[in-house]
Amino acid sequence: MEIKFEQNKDLTSLNTFHIKAKAKLFATYSRVEELHKISFSPEFMENEVFYLGGGSNVLFNGDFDGLVLKSEIKGIKRYDKDSETVFLIAGAAELWTDVVDFAIKEGLAGIENLAAIPGTAGAAPVQNIGAYGSEIGEVIHKVECFDVISHNTLTLTAEQCRFGYRDSIFKNEGKGRYVVLRVSLKLKNSNLAENLNYGPLKKLKEKLGRTPTISEVAKEVTEIRNSKLPDPAKIGNAGSFFKNPVVRIYFYKEVMSTLCPDIPYYETEDPYYVKIPAGWLIEHAGLKGFSIGDAEVYPQQCLVIANKGEASSGDVIEVASHVVKTVLSKFGVVLRPEVNIIDSEIKVTILGSGTSKGIPEIGCHCPVCTSTDPKDKRTRCSALVETRGVRLLIDVSPDFRMQALNNEISYLDAALITHNHYDHVGGFDDLRPFCANGKFPIYLRPDVNADLHRRLDYCFSDTHYPGVPSFEMNEIENAPFMIKGVRISPVTVMHGKVPIVGFRIGNFAYITDAKTIEEEEKEKLAGLDVLVVNGLRDKDHFAHFTIAEALELIEELKPKRAYLTHFCHEVGKHCDLERRLPENVFPCYDGMTIITK
């Protein structure tokens, strides 16, 4: 069983945006045994991996510097449980439209409302695709997956898939870990449609004077979709670019409706939240037809960003960014992309580079604290990491509010916490704007979680006090984990006698407040492109690297580039420190941007 890895594979025809891009490596698999073999290969182990389905929900932002894997697992079969219930099993590579057509031909009800949705059967549970009052999660029986960490197959029930609005385990901690092989749907042995609550389908029933068949509903849905959405074969697009935002009802009433009282909303299963139609927000923000280059907000359906011809990924991202900023300014809500932005680049913004007192220190009149050089004005340590369309905050310093404003941070996907000292968590309450769309995910050690529950007890009360930040606390161990497909590797370091966490993301690592690192933890830092590490001052400190100790670590690990952070005023002026560092080592400053692969 030989696996063929293609090099510099052209992906233009494999994504419905028709955006030009190449993959460094590309391979397909038609059996789980082939995927199992691939998962042990050097090509898999030594590269970032992306699993490509039908290409209908992705935007490649440049060439992909890794391995792209595409499923070719086919087959659609029915298994009758009894006279009423039928299980429909589809291979991940089957087109979703073919699955719907098969169900209608066989007289199986339950997915007719999901007709004409582009993509594959394997992508359907990942996205929890939905339309016209239905979601695939409602009829999922089981999902067969391959776990790339254990190298075993497993079967997840619908409950284990944790379906939410356009969400599932496969888009969160399971992203990049669980590869969908086959999908099992629980359908009804019937030709009559049942879910007719969506407006146009109600009208169809009234028009016919009877309950429509599943074939009639599928035809109606297809015609509606075709009238609104561009055909990807003719106009490049990825369907709905943005999710409909789900916000706290308190936020809707107290903020959004005061900005515009006509904003429509829909109730959700959670009485504390409502759903806002993103297309309405975009249209009423005056963005219909807005374009940059050949990328355009599609006039017939503002949820879509279309490639009118030769749009670049940059054009699409600029249009999307403008939409997000305009809607936020007008309606106070952040739109989140439904499209997966695939980017090998890692962008790091140093939000704060100072130690616990910051620079200038209160009451100090030394040359550093009185310097007029902006690079000598250091707030307390935080960093923003952006990759693959995911935005991660490392630490929430007491200065985070101004850091967010200065760097125009309008949305975040999660926060990583190194430890519980105040200069790294003092800005937690300022995360409340990022909680408007639901609980904000935090990743941290169990001891830090317990301490924050004591210190911020009002955030974790069962009573929903209006405006209080709401967090989803995810406890981590000293083992890799995933956030929306981004692999995070914790690195335990010693802050004096206190164990704390550094983080490695791809070939970038961020370590702060370290004094010593065990050899086995140093092994996790091999082969780095960029290392950011603390260097408090020249004089020895019981819990922090000195400049000399940080340089010794850099010399030992040999990253391509290294950056020092977490300075106190004793380190001297930025310009003086910069001159005495080795060629590949640089002092951080607030607002500094570092880009790597």
Catalytic residues: 166, 240, 338
**Short-list 495, 482, 437, 432, CA closest to 170:** 482
Strand 178-189 with 85-91, pairing: antiparallel
Task: Assess contact for 334 and 316: CB atoms under 8 A.
Answer: no
Collapsing DSSP to helix, strand or coil, 215 comes out as helix
- What's 137's DSSP letter? G
Task: Assess contact for 550 and 534: CB atoms under 8 A.
Answer: yes
Whether the link from the prior residue into 433 is cis, omega within 30° of 0, is: no
Cβ neighbours for 491, distance < 8 A, ≥ 6 positions apart: 501, 502, 503, 504, 509, 511, 517, 521, 524, 525
**Short-list 540, 545, 541, 489, CA closest to 517:** 545
**Short-list 248, 243, 301, 304, CA closest to 277:** 243
The Cα 386–Cα 345 span in angstroms is: 8
Burial group, residue 513, by CB count within 10 angstroms (0-12, 13-18, 19+): buried
Task: Assess contact for 157 and 278: CB atoms under 8 A.
Answer: no
Handedness of CA 201, 204, 209, 214 (dihedral sign): negative
The Cα 424–Cα 470 span in angstroms is: 19
- What's 38's DSSP letter? H
The string of DSSP codes covering 469-509 is --EEEEE--SS-EEETTEEEEEEEEEETTEEEEEEEETTEE
Q: How many Cα atoms sit within 13 Å of 107 on the Cβ side?
A: 6
Backbone angles phi, psi at 261, to 5 degrees: -70, -10
- What's 326's DSSP letter? H
Collapsing DSSP to helix, strand or coil, 65 comes out as strand
Cβ neighbours for 463, distance < 8 A, ≥ 6 positions apart: none
**Short-list 351, 370, 372, CA closest to 361:** 370
Q: Two tokens at 308?
A: 């009118």
Report in angstroms the alpha-carbon separations of 229 from 196, 240, 287.
21, 9, 17
Phi-psi region of 136 (alpha: psi -120 to 50; beta: other; left: phi over 0): alpha
Task: Assess contact for 506 and 500: CB atoms under 8 A.
Answer: no
